[in-house]
Amino acid sequence: MKHWWQKATIYQIYPKSFKDSNDDGIGDLQGIIEKLDYLEELGISAIWLSPVYQSPMDDNGYDISDYEKIAECFGDMSDMDELLLEAKRRGIRIIMDLVVNHTSDEHAWFVTAKENPNSPERDFYIWRDQPNALESLFGGSAWQYDEKSQQYYLHLFSKKQPDLNWENPALRQKVYDMMNFWIDKGIGGFRMDVIDMIGKAPDKGITTNGPKLHDYLKEMHQATLKDKDLLTVGETWGATPAIAKAYSNPDNHELSMVFQFEHIGLQHLDNHPKWDFTSLDVPRLKAIFSKWQIELDPTEGWNSLFWNNHDLPRVLSIWGNEMTYREKSGKAFAILLHLLRGTPYIYQGEEIGMLNYPFKADFSEIEDIESRNFIAEARQAGKQEETIIESIRKVSRDNARTPMQWDDSPQAGFSTTKPWLPVNPNYQTINVAKALADKNSLFYTYQALIKLRKEEDWLVDADYELLETSSKVFAYLRKTTDKTYLVLVNLSDETQSFTSNYTIKDTIITNTKTPQTLENLTLEPWDAFCLEVD
């Protein structure tokens, strides 16, 4: 039996930047409702909604102060209920972001924990008399001193994001109750923020993949997800195929799938921080995707497929061609990814080929906490200003967070006031209205790929096989018992050659003129197509 999410394409919305309905410069739930018709036209099955819960917004909502309230800047619970209803009417499910590795320091649990060290809430968090060497992923020590109790609390992200203590069964039950509150509202599932960290063993220096992680997830499944066909996807930066199987093997009753980031690791130099970016290594990309395709056979697990999210640079700016082949390279990345086995995710703006933002050299436009911390630390370490600017422009998380470009009116139709992050100056050429008006635009390639996945079972069933090709060409076969599909992509600005004995039966999708034969073929830059072959 197939799950709905095996034939679905998911669209990620970063609410602050999607659509502002009341002209305060911040996207909101009514803005999303306004754009549901657009998403229906694109054809997606579900929205992964980045956090909209009550939050002081130290990390744009990934610091939650009340899981059962909506942040005022986004609307209120009646707007949320309306979104669920309006989405459902269009066949779209809502996947909520579940951030339970940490809360905000303004969450009532933490406020009580701090005020009253004898309260039960104290043990919902992780307190020690002495800090150890653990570092925050946003820079600096992971321990923050609390004057009053003379203890330190753990925060693997900002100090306004204290880590929850999953060892405490009462805390776990509170999390499950909260999940059931949302499930009862009729949501389609959860995207689980840094879920691989909940089993941490801080005294041993273990932060990810801790000893009890999978016990907790099995318990969570029993308490919340059981017998409901929800989509659950864990964010797991360090997952290997073996680890991904532990989460997503249907017999294990944990999650539907995880986001693995091995291909994203190619964006920077090996064993370097992400700020030391590098160009695309196609042979390594092929090796990584092939490994994941082969190892996560559907009886043993399931893949998620993505190039972009709210933490990553725009794929066209890091690996594609931003100028001459912007749309064509966008189509090439889309075709390559969406015909693999797994559930594809599109990040807002990806479907119209949005690009990174040309941040000013004085960094006055940077909002992101991770980027700000990096700038301060890099300066302190004596890094050249030029190098810091380059890193920010290439990989800062704010690149993905500039407002969605709807049309060519001021503020790109996102808002009528100055938005919280500036609109990319390219909005007059790159926007939704323009994309919809051009039948050959990238938008329609995504639309076709989404439709294909809904309609064609081979995308789920067919086996995967990599073909030997020259280094910049990515060619793979998808094979069922009676059909063979070839996906062929030139991931470069140069022509490439390719040859094969297969004969062409049918064109499934293409961003170029499809050839008559596959023998001694010359591929133009960023040519990409899928053919049924014999």
Known catalytic residue at 368: no
CA distances from 459 to 224, 332, 454, 532 (A): 30, 18, 9, 13
Nearest alpha carbon to residue 307 among 267, 279, 276: 267
Nearer to ligand GLC, 54 or 490 (CB): 54
Among ligand GLC, Ca ion, none, what binds residue 311 when CB lies within 5 to 8 Å by partner kind? ligand GLC
Q: What's at 201, amino acid-wise? A: A
Q: How far apart are CA 526 and CA 320, in angstroms?
A: 9
Among ligand GLC, Ca ion, none, what binds residue 84 when CB lies within 5 to 8 Å by partner kind? none
Nearer to ligand GLC, 45 or 158 (CB): 158
Nearer to ligand GLC, 19 or 397 (CB): 397
Among Ca ion, ligand GLC, none, what binds residue 33 when CB lies within 5 to 8 Å by partner kind? none
Among ligand GLC, Ca ion, none, what binds residue 20 when CB lies within 5 to 8 Å by partner kind? Ca ion
Q: How far apart are CA 167 and CA 184, in angstroms?
A: 26
Among Ca ion, ligand GLC, none, what binds residue 99 when CB lies within 5 to 8 Å by partner kind? ligand GLC
Nearest alpha carbon to residue 388 among 367, 421, 359: 359
Residues 6+ positions from 59 with CB-CB distance below 8 Å: 157, 158, 160, 161, 369
Least distance (Å) between residue 75 CB and Ca ion: 8
- Quick one: tokens of 307? 């190039």
Residues 6+ positions from 339 with CB-CB distance below 8 Å: 449, 452, 459, 478, 485, 487, 509, 530
Known catalytic residue at 297: no
Residues that bind ligand GLC (CB under 6 A): 59, 62, 99, 157, 193-194, 235, 310-311
Least distance (Å) between residue 112 CB and ligand GLC: 22
Nearest alpha carbon to residue 95 among 291, 333, 324, 256: 256
Specify the 3-state DSSP secondary structure of 374.
helix
- Quick one: tokens of 56? 């002081």
Find the residue with minimal CB distance to ligand GLC. 62
Nearer to ligand GLC, 197 or 340 (CB): 197
- Quick one: tokens of 132? 């150890």
Q: How far apart are the first and last CA of the chain?
A: 28
Active-site hit among 97, 163, 235, 370 = 235
Among ligand GLC, Ca ion, none, what binds residue 157 when CB lies within 5 to 8 Å by partner kind? ligand GLC
Residues that bind Ca ion (CB under 5 A): 20, 22, 24, 26, 28
Positive/negative CA dihedral, 209, 15, 11, 97:
positive
Active-site hit among 79, 97, 193, 262 = 193
Among ligand GLC, Ca ion, none, what binds residue 26 when CB lies within 5 to 8 Å by partner kind? Ca ion
Nearest alpha carbon to residue 288 among 312, 261, 306: 261
Nearer to ligand GLC, 13 or 339 (CB): 13
Q: Which long-range contacts (CB under 8 A, 24 or more apart) does 323-326 make?
A: 324/493, 324/525, 325/493, 325/525, 325/526, 326/353, 326/355, 326/430
Least distance (Å) between residue 213 CB and ligand GLC: 16
Determine contact, residues 45/9, Cβ cutoff 8 Å: yes
- For the beta carbon of residue 392, count every other beta carbon within 10 angstroms: 27
Nearer to Ca ion, 30 or 149 (CB): 30
Least distance (Å) between residue 498 CB and ligand GLC: 37
Nearer to Ca ion, 57 or 282 (CB): 57
Least distance (Å) between residue 33 CB and Ca ion: 12
Least distance (Å) between residue 162 CB and ligand GLC: 12
Least distance (Å) between residue 308 CB and ligand GLC: 12
For the chain, what's the residue count? 534
- Which sequence positions are flagged as catalytic? 193, 235
